[in-house]
Amino acid sequence: MTYVVTDACIKCKYMDCVEVCPVDCFYEGENMLVINPSECIDCGVCEPECPAEAILPDTENGLEKWLELNTKFSAEWPNITAAKEAPADADEHKGEEGKFEKYFSAEPGEGD
């Protein structure tokens, strides 16, 4: 099992999660983060830290799409281990529906 980041992270990207991960397995895209499922040790400490409730254990139903996306993009995007400033409009996009369809970007972020 692993934890995965879902579309609730898109355009929120608060990054509280990266500060607590003991194995630094978060990777940064242009407007969301993902977890590398083969590096995640399932400790669960990041889940309650996310203000957008974007992080879920893959044992929950219906998360196959996100597991696939986390696996694919963690291999392409740069590692991120320290929080930066969240986007200025992060709160406006918190809880918004359909963010994947509206905003997902496959472009990498800057990483550390």
How far apart CA 50 and CA 58 sit, in angstroms, is 16
Q: How far is CA 58 from the centre of its chain?
A: 13
- Cβ atoms 55, 47 nearer than 8 A: yes
Please state the closest distance from residue 34 (CB atom) to ligand SF4, in A: 9
- Between residues 42 and 76, which has the closer beta carbon with respect to ligand SF4? 42
Asked whether position 9 contacts ligand SF4 by CB under 6 A, the answer is yes
Q: Which stretch binds ligand SF4 (CB under 6 A): 16-24, 66-74, 95-103, 104-112?
A: 16-24
- Residues 6+ positions from 97 with CB-CB distance below 8 Å: none
Binding mask of the shown chain, residues 19 to 58, with x at each position contacting ligand SF4 by CB under 6 A:
-xx-x-x-------x-x----xxxxxxx---x-x-xx---
Give the H/E segment covering residue 58: none
Contact assessment for residue 15 and residue 80, using Cβ atoms and an 8 Å cutoff: yes
Cβ atoms < 10 Å from Cβ of 71: 16
Question: What is the nearest approach in angstroms of ligand SF4 to the Cβ of residue 61?
Answer: 19
Residue 42 CB, nearest distance to ligand SF4 (Å)?
6
Binding footprint of ligand SF4 on the chain (CB under 6 A)? 3, 5, 9, 12-17, 20-21, 23, 25, 33, 35, 40-46, 50, 52, 54-55
